[in-house]
Amino acid sequence: MSKHKLAIVGVGKIAIDQHIPSIEETGLFRLAALVSQRGVEHDGLPSFRTQADMLSAMPDVTAVAICTPPDVRHGLVREALRAGRHVLMEKPPTASLMELEDLRAEAERAGRTLFATWHSQFNAAVDAARERLAGARIRSVRVDWKEDVRKWHPGQEWIWQAGGFGVFDPGINAVSILTRVLPFPPFVASADLTFPANRDTPIAASVVFRRPPDVPGARFTADLDWRQTGGEIWTITIEVDGGPTLTLSRGGTCLAVDGTTVVDEADREYRRIYRRFHALVEAGESDVDAAPLRVVADAFLVGRRLVTDAFDW
């Protein structure tokens, strides 16, 4: 089995918390370089200020993991694919749907792997929920995705800038679980998007979903909120008609059926992501699932803008 050399581009919170330890633990890629605007270093690895510098200095680096904010990813991914590298993208993959489609075509043209990751989908509990819901008639769905922005995104100004997604930066994780486990596509019917008076992205959102016309059942709501204090709530509850209630909690790492926990497995998402990336590279395939981004884009398209108090750190 070949061991690809990989570079991380953007050495922020998620690169340090998850990517570096997962690459090291799974041992399928060798971390060979970093690209960091600020010059972050790790373990004596070469660290470059731009991806272009790394690509030309290290032709033996065959794969990159782009861990920057989404709005700069399109240019970076294109550059890496055109230089013949395989690419893993953090979520949300891009700031727009057209950019994502462009990258999918670019990967095809380059004959390289492009992997748009949705880390919350890489949980055993999510797989188990998907299996139980296949073909099920669903009575109700309820999403609560609430966390303290000061705790989870300290000082990250990019999340408040246009293209930074605001509360949909974590909220798209809930959406990625919905698009994976529901046996029908969730259509956005309406959305209330609450923007702080001094910011360009929402601090809270209430999104109402409807089912396709041929799927019976009521509309359902996802409530996303960054003003949560006293502990985060990342929970999806799904009631099956005449059957059990499934509760996916703690961000999709835990599944309870009628209150009894059947899967509880924290912190494996990124190990699985790197295994999947390696398998895709070895098979010469790509995995670019646009569904969660499409749902969030639709929420911005049909959403109503509400304004609340200014936000400061």
Is residue 37 involved in binding ligand NAP (CB under 6 A)? yes
Phi and psi at residue 148, in whole multiples of 5°? -90, 110
Count other C-beta atoms under 10 Å from residue 162's C-beta. 11
User: Please, which residue, 168 or 209, has the CB nearer to ligand NAP?
Assistant: 168
165 to 184: interface string for ligand NAP, x by CB under 6 A: ----x---------------
CB 116 within 8 A of CB 100: yes
Partners of 227 in beta bridges: 148
Count residues near ligand NAP (CB under 6 A). 21
Give the contact letters, 134-163, x = binds to ligand NAP (CB under 6 A), - = no: ----------------------x-x-----
CA geometry: angle 205, 210, 211, nearest 5 deg: 140
User: Residue 91 catalytic?
Assistant: yes
Which residue carries 């494996």 as its tokens?
268
C-beta of 26 vs 156, nearer to ligand NAP: 156
Stretch that binds ligand NAP, among 8-16, 95-103, 121-129, 188-196 (CB under 6 A): 8-16
Residue 13 is a binding residue for ligand NAP (CB under 6 A): yes
Site for ligand NAP in 274-293 (CB under 6 A): none
Residue 293 Cβ vs ligand NAP, minimum distance, rounded to whole Å? 12
CB of 188 to ligand NAP, least distance (A): 20
By C-alpha distance, which of 215, 221, 22 is closest to 119? 22
Q: Which stretch binds ligand NAP (CB under 6 A): 9-17, 77-85, 208-216, 295-303?
A: 9-17
Closest to ligand NAP by CB, 40 or 58: 40
Buried b / exposed e along 289-305 (16+ C-beta atoms within 10 A): bbebbbbbbbbbeebee
Quick count: other Cβ atoms within 10 Å of Cβ 108? 13
- Pairing of β 4-9 and β 245-249: unpaired
Angstrom distance (rounded) from CA 221 to CA 130: 19
- In the block, tokens 């989908």 appear at 121
**Of 5, 91, 146, 151, which is the active-site residue?**
91
Cis ω for the linkage preceding 92 (within 30 of 0): yes
Residue 68 CB, nearest approach to ligand NAP (Å)? 4
Using CB under 6 A as the binding rule, whether residue 14 contacts ligand NAP is answered as yes
Binding to ligand NAP (CB under 6 A) within 51-110 occurs at 67-70, 72, 90-91
Q: Where are the beta strands (DSSP E) in the chain?
A: 4-9, 29-35, 47-48, 61-66, 86-89, 114-116, 138-146, 187-196, 204-210, 220-225, 233-240, 245-249, 254-257, 260-264, 304-308
Instruction: Give me the 225-264 binding string for ligand NAP, x by CB under 6 A, dash otherwise.
Output: ----------------------------------------
Match 């509990």 to its residue by tokens: 125
Instruction: Single out the residue of 22, 23, 36, 247 in contact with ligand NAP (rule: CB under 6 A).
Output: 36
DSSP 312: -
Residue at shortest CB range from ligand NAP? 12
Q: Can you give the binding site for ligand NAP, defined by CB under 6 A?
A: 10-15, 36-38, 40, 67-70, 72, 90-91, 119, 156, 158, 169
- Catalytic center residues: 91
